[in-house]
Amino acid sequence: MDDNKIRDAQELERLLQFLRRTGVYKHKKYELSDADITLLFSVSFGDPTGIKPSEIAKRLKITLPAVTHKMNKLVDDGYLTRRDSKSDHRVTYVLLTDKGSKYLESIEEDYYAKILKLMKRLGERDTDTLVRLLNKINASGKL
């Protein structure tokens, strides 16, 4: 194999290890899991009258059964509520409860602080490039 390719691979490996060590994507322990919090934020970013679970799955690029599983737990725990569509009873919308809204408000600033700090250092253009590249890596699946 070409020595330059090996050198490039070594550099990429070193940088990925450094990124992992920075802890930029590690969070302190919260009452809820990262997956639960991500789902709650996705609901909060949706229409205030509710968001379909299928829209959450599409936005998070995960399966609908995974969303349903997490959503059911969050409904049972009082962070989310369901609302049936008035025009089509097969359609369900999900909304934050007061408990869910208050929880997000209490962690919002701290939860994304490291990522926001990184984004500020990178600037808009480099942040967009990083997001594009990470999406490309993610789309390629497990290596």
Q: Answer yes or no: CATH 1.10.10.10 is held by domain 31-107.
A: yes
86 phi/psi in degrees, rounded to 5:
-75, -30
Per-residue pLDDT of 91-134, as tens digits, reads: 899 999 999 999 999 998 888 888 888 899 999 999 999 999 88
pTM of the model: 0.78
- Annotate 98-115 with DSSP letters as a single string: HHHHHHHHHHHHHHTHHH
